[in-house]
A and B are shown apart, each in its own frame.
Chain A
Amino acid sequence: MSASDTGYRAEALIGQDIAAYLKAHEEKTMLRFITCGSVDDGKSTLIGRLLYDSKMIFDDQLSALEAASKKSGTQGDAIDFALLVDGLAAEREQGITIDVAYRFFATEKRKFIVADTPGHEQYTRNMVTGASTVDLAVLLVDARQGVLTQTRRHAYLVHLLGIKHIVLAVNKMDLVDFSETCFQDIVDDFNSFAADLNMAPPLAIPISGLAGDNITGRSDNTAWYKGPSLLAHLENVELADNAAQKQSFAMPVQWVNRPNLDFRGFSGRVAGGTVKLGDKIRIVPSGKTSTVKEIVTMAANGSRADLSEALAGQSVTLTLNDEIDCSRGDVIAAGDNPPLAADRFEASLVWMDEAEMLPGRAYELRLGTQAVSARVQAPKYAVNVNNMEHLAAKTLGLNEIGVVELATDRPVVFAPFADSQKLGSFVLIDKISNATVAAGMLHFSLRRAHNIHWQAVDIDRAAHAALKGQRPKILWFTGLSGSGKSTIANAVEKKLHANGKHTFLLDGDNVRHGLNKDLGFTDADRIENIRRIGEVAKLMSDAGLIVLTAFISPFRAERDMARAMVADGDFVEIHVDTPLDVAEQRDVKGLYKKARAGELKNFTGIDSPYEPPEAPEITVNTTELSAEEAAGLIIDYLDKN
């Protein structure tokens, strides 16, 4: 068989010309793969066989193995390869693999790391863990059993984890007399399932882990099979690193290297693309730009050795030509195509903790080198991993998978998982137990308004304000319909204008008819209405203006959201406090009458709530003050603050 030939050739070279052998070994690439399948599909046996055939088993291990095979093996006097890979003591007794174990072997072309993971449904999290770092998955099927529920679950999981290369290894072919029909039926069955998942048909190989057919070389027992042996395929399949190099450059900053005042380097591992000296880069999320000055590494002798280029997968330290802010969590990216930042996402989530997910609870979200606080909403649906059905769910328990929406407390630099594993994958950590409770894969960001590159500008808020000789503020008037908000706001603006201040009044007329004409009066629309007004008010205050807003703005949460957009002291909440009966009596626009008659739905104070401010900066009681007096009170406040 060709594999043993390969082994012997390599060994001969070791003996004859070690330098040549080592040179060849230096050039090897590395492939990480996972083996999965049901409990009895022969995973451990297959891995044991690969180690054995690639001569990775030493004499002492082999004699220990032979002894153990006789004592507790399942193969009579023959070697039980499975015993070679089953690790922890407790598992050895139970005869199953509980955790993820990593195995190593090498051929002439490649070094391999195998993640061996358990098959049972209760170990889904272990499989997901093992699958997260691999380039390829070998999905084992017992030729006598065909595609089982577990097979489908594992196929779904490796597909979910974005593994591009999947091998369907139909094992134990020796037990079905190497029947082509049997093999083809299984392949057809699997492929129709794969089509449902939008998964390309995998390479299917008929093998026997126990007897060695089609493992290292093509077997005479399956003359009808024309494809490569398993090992030949593993040696030649394209690596994920290559794919990452075709992306735009991005490097999450892990650590700022500052040994002295003369050196400031940004250390990280290139997540995608390549970077060269002089390349234009952009720091996200700040949007600041610069160019690459040096790519610093250490030479073997401890002196400095700079590179002219760094590739995806390399760990490097970059220096830049400009002194700009950049720290852990930022991403240094290609100047012309930086990743986006957003704070609301849809994602697939695999729950990994005994304690179930708590919607609304703030977890720590880790993505790249960023750590933020994130709240998860109740799942849109959970996935039945056995038949891929979508199920209604209020939460996710251990090993459950669902699609959720997440909100983070500040923008996160990201890419969809399908485009970038490094910028699209995340974990959730329980802030109290510190356990890693979930693994997630981002689909997309939800609010497109946040989905923008922050453009760093030189003329900032302070510059705008200085030119106008004023401190920008947002004067946020809130109160019932007919309470007098617009009248008072108008009076205040006139006084400010007379004093030479630059102002702008946002009210229902100039917002509801334009920017927000798509919104109605449901609670959701009211929230969105106020959110947009808050954003516009913030932009105008960034432009240096004193902004007055006159909207009912009935909900405390949205007013607080607007307050949080600007610095402390720049948001002045003014409660125009008019009792409902007084406002209804005034009924300037005849709206209360219509609402009482049922002609207007969701009217604040009638059939929609008003939440008065708890601690407004100013309260004006319109039953005691005229509009002019109220405006004077507000101007006094502004003069003092």
Chain B
Amino acid sequence: MAVLTHLQQLEAESIEIMREVVAQVDNPVMLYSIGKDSAAMLHVARKAFFPAPPPFPLLHVDTTWKFQDMYKLRQKAADEAGMELLVHQNPQAQAQDINPFDHGALHTDMWKTEGLKQALDKYQFDAAFGGARRDEEKSRAKERIFSFRSENHQWDPKNQRPELWSLYNARKKPGESMRVFPMSNWTELDIWQYIRLEKIEIVPLYFAAARPTVERDGLILMVDDERFPLNQGETPVMRSVRFRTLGCYPLTGAVESQATTLDEVIQEMLLTTTSERQGRAIDQEAGASMEVKKQQGYF
């Protein structure tokens, strides 16, 4: 008797989750960060509603500091899926010229956390899909697939709704909302494997190429545009690098690599001995920092 492979099972579960959201809520949106997890999630969404386009828009909460290659793929991916692309940039952050070089943690807080809340309020979305996976980080391992948020977008880890079988409860009062994580049970390897199997287009930054870089505090950073303030005597060096995760370019560390094909990237990923999120400055604070950020409304 035929048995579903783990990828077929995961895809079927994610599709079921997405359809439940569309059937149960009024105004859903898919958060789209342009990274590989978003790419895989978007692809599953297209399958879930095919031949119709996914019946919700994509929302990119833009910090204005993403890699140029990411901006290039953004509209193309939305067009191919037949979906509307919404881009939100926090006007206060813009007015105050908040940036990762001068403002550290405030940058993430204002552009991402606050920006996301603003966008959800502005469009009155009552459910937002996110591509987070339970294998990424300890506090995510305990979050529900349908994660309830208060009117102030807060998550209460101690008071989560029981989530049994595949019976998802999206009931809520006006103003309250759900964050929904359809890719919860996928691992990093599953995502890569799926991208390979389904030939999903991803940002070229995931593949090694000669890029202008500088080294700071143990992180290799890419000088992606002229806004990168070089220290005195500092000159960008061309290194063959790639990125394991993509975020704001001044906050995202590259790894030196020669992997130019998907198979080589996966091979490197499997042989490497450093976990995925280490490239992100945000996670290197105290053990529980992500949990605190999530309670405040960070995705």
With CB as the reference atom, state the residue of chain A lying closest to B275. Answer: A58
B22 x A255 contact (CB < 8 A): yes
* B6: interface (CB < 8 Å): yes
Q: How large is the interface on A (under 10, 10 to 19, 20 to 34, 35 or more residues)?
A: 35 or more
Q: Known contacts A304-B50, A421-B165; is A267 also within 8 Å of B287 by CB? A: no
Check if A46 is an interface residue, CB within 8 A of chain B: no
Determine if B171 and A434 form an interchain contact, defined as CB atoms under 8 angstroms apart: yes
Which residue of chain B lies nearest to A58 when distances are taken between CB atoms in the complex? B275
8 A-B contacts, Cβ less than 8 Å apart? A14-B267, A26-B197, A111-B190, A129-B163, A296-B50, A313-B12, A434-B169, A434-B171
Contacts of A241 in B (CB 8 A): 3-4, 9
Chain A residues near B165 (CB-CB < 8 A) = 132-133, 421-422, 425, 427
CB proximity to A under 8 Å, residues B121-172: 134-135, 138-139, 141-142, 157-158, 160-167, 169, 171-172
Whether A362 sits at the interface, judged by CB under 8 Å, is no
A434 touching B173 by the CB < 8 A rule?
A: yes
User: Quick one: given A89-B287, A89-B291, A435-B161, are A366 and B264 in contact (CB under 8 Å)?
Assistant: no
The digit string for B3-22, where 1 denotes a CB below 8 A from any CB of A, is 11111111111011001101
Would you give the shortest CB distance from A51 to chain B, in whole angstroms? 11
Contact status B51-A259, CB under 8 Å: yes
Which residues of B lie under 8 Å from residue A304 when comparing CB positions? 50-51
Please, what's the 1-or-0 string for B249-291, where 1 marks a CB less than 8 Å from any CB in chain A? 0000000000000011011001111110010000000011001
Q: Does A88 contact B (CB under 8 A)?
A: yes
Question: Which of A104, A242, A298 has a CB less than 8 Å from the CB of B50?
Answer: A298
Stretch at the interface among B29-37, B41-49, B104-112, B218-226: B41-49
CB distance from B229 to the nearest CB of A (A): 29
Please report whether the interface of chain A is mostly helix, strand, loop or mixed according to DSSP: mixed
State whether the Cβ of B210 lies closer than 8 Å to any Cβ in chain A. no
Report if A429 contacts B (CB, 8 A): yes
Partner of A89, one of B134, B173, B270, B288: B288
| Docked pose: A430 CA to B165 CA in angstroms | 18
A96-146 residues at the B interface, CB under 8 angstroms: 98-104, 106, 110-111, 113, 125-126, 128-129, 132-133
- Interface assignment of A321: CB less than 8 Å from any CB of chain B: no
Chain A residues, Cβ within 8 Å of B271: 11, 14-15
Q: Select from chain B the residue with minimum beta-carbon distance to A353.
A: B162
**Does chain A have a CB within 8 A of B296?**
no
CB-CB under 8 A from B198, the residues of chain A are 300
> Are the C-beta atoms of B3 and A364 separated by less than 8 Å?
no
Query: B95 in the interface, Cβ–Cβ < 8 Å?
Result: no
Residues of A554-607 at the interface with B, using a CB-CB cut-off of 8 Å, are none
Which of A302, A313, A315, A352 has most B Cβ within 10 Å? Answer: A315
A88 x B6 contact (CB < 8 A): no
What residue of chain A has the Cβ atom nearest to residue B81's Cβ?
Answer: A302
Contact A366 B167, beta carbon cutoff 8 Å:
yes
Given known contacts A19-B263, A296-B50, A314 and B193 CB-to-CB distance under 8 angstroms: no
| Residues 323-345 of A contacting B (Cβ, < 8 Å) | 328
Q: In the docked arrangement, what's the CA distance between A15 and B53, Å?
A: 40
Closest CB of chain A to B174's CB: distance in Å? 12
Q: Are A436 and B6 in contact (CB under 8 A)?
A: no
- Chain A residues near B274: list those with CB within 8 A: 58-60
